[in-house]
Homo-oligomer: A and B are copies of this chain.
Amino acid sequence: MAEALRIGIAGLGTVGASVARVLRDKAGELTRQCGRPITVTAVSARDRGKDRGVDLGDVAWFDDPVELARSNGIDVFVELMGGDEGAPREAVKAALEAGRHVVTANKALLAMHGVALAEIAEKKGVLLNYEAAVAGGIPVIKTMREAMAGNSVSRVFGILNGTCNYILTRMEAEGLTFEACLKDAQRLGYAEADPTFDIEGNDTAHKLSILTSLAFGTRIAANDIYLEGISNITQADIRAASDLGYRIKLLGVAQRTESGIEQRVHPTMVPTASVIAQVHGVTNAVAIETDILGELLLSGPGAGGNATASAVVGDIADIAKSRPGFQHGPVFGRPAKELKPYKKAQMRSHAGGYFIRLTVHDRVGVFAAVARRMADNDISLESIVQHAAGTNGDDKKTVILVTHETTEAAVRKAVDGVTKDGHLVDKPQVIRIERAG
């Protein structure tokens, strides 16, 4: 049997402790699967005394993760600290430069510095695996990086943030407000005390930027993503969506268009009968469309210590099965040096259907004025519904429009026009509709 693969883990939070436990509890089975033992030989964490449900008495402890990364006592550096700057970045860089394989769950680090790190890994002939960085336990990186060789991707989209999906699921199921559901999510540990990063779409954007690179062979552009969160989604939107046969999900979408690549994160209406519409609660899902395979959908747990640990252990096992001198394909599917620049499609040229909800004054001619603004911008309507907005006969009406395929520019112009006409009582709501199987 080959020598044991020696693992150093930096960061022993929920995920790190779970990885250490799985590697111990499943040691026999992993050895059988990989043809060699996998042994945690060193760790780095702040608190040595904390009970993590796993005996780490016999491993080397490092205070400095960078020192652990460079240690001769490990073959694989597992980075589970999180954060895109400082120690995690330095440690991963140091590990790769020292010729250690790296496994990380750090989406922010990859979104910001992934290509530079991939260049080092490929130069050194070591692996940089990151299955856990996107959609937790779902093997979307392996699928896109390995299983789809030769496929040209046209679109990849998904539910990549469990916090948002949990909130939207509860809003729909129980008729609660966004604020009430967020509070519950925080109480249950599904949302941070400061939830901004999740609910405003930044977390989804980080993950999407990695998928975009794998899909289109482009350099990662995490700062160049159209971003809209879910905090302004109301019960009125959710009910109207339901009436129209849609469900609202926060999607990250990357799509190849004639003018470049669209990267966008926004609340999206998907058909209620689609598979992705049945993805509830903290579950994640990714759909990938290609020329050869067609459409593939993966759904599963997007977060949580164990699910994330499963992806990390899978990455470690892939390294254990490899042998010196073997290079299991480039980090982002194509050699990092050959990744093309990201050419952004302008959001204004986005083509698709739109849901528009307007709260207007209840007076003669408003409906006609709205319809006129749509027509003036060549927007063809699939449906138009008008009903009383208030419950006590106030001077308001709701107009809900669903457009056929049009452009973002046309919709913005039309809605600006309606706003200028002075008919609106409230901020207009615009939600994009996404085709989904």
Contact = CB atoms under 8 A, between A and B. Distances in A.
B294 A329 contact: no
Given A138-B296, A306-B294, A329-B34, A311 B274 contact: no
A146 B327 contact: no
A188 to B, nearest CB: 17
In this complex, the member of A26, A139, A152 whose beta carbon has the largest number of chain B beta carbons within 10 angstroms is: A139
Interface residues of A, number: 64
Nearest to A27: B150
Interface stretch (A297-305, A354-362, A423-431): A297-305
A66 to B, nearest CB: 28
A40 to B, nearest CB: 13
Interface string A297-328: 11111001011011101101110011101111
A385 interface: no
B29 A150 contact: yes
Contacts of A148: 310, 314
Given A30-B150, A149-B313, A298 B301 contact: no
Nearest to A141: B147
A333 B34 CA distance: 9
29 contacts: A22-B150, A23-B150, A26-B150, A26-B152, A30-B150, A33-B329, A34-B149, A142-B142, A146-B314, A149-B313, A149-B316, A149-B317, A150-B313, A151-B310, A274-B278, A275-B278, A277-B278, A292-B309, A293-B300, A294-B304, A295-B301, A296-B298, A297-B299, A298-B298, A317-B329, A321-B327, A321-B329, A322-B328, A325-B325
Given A139-B139, A275-B278, 12 more contacts: A32-B338, A137-B294, A142-B146, A146-B317, A149-B314, A274-B278, A275-B299, A292-B306, A292-B313, A294-B304, A321-B328, A321-B329
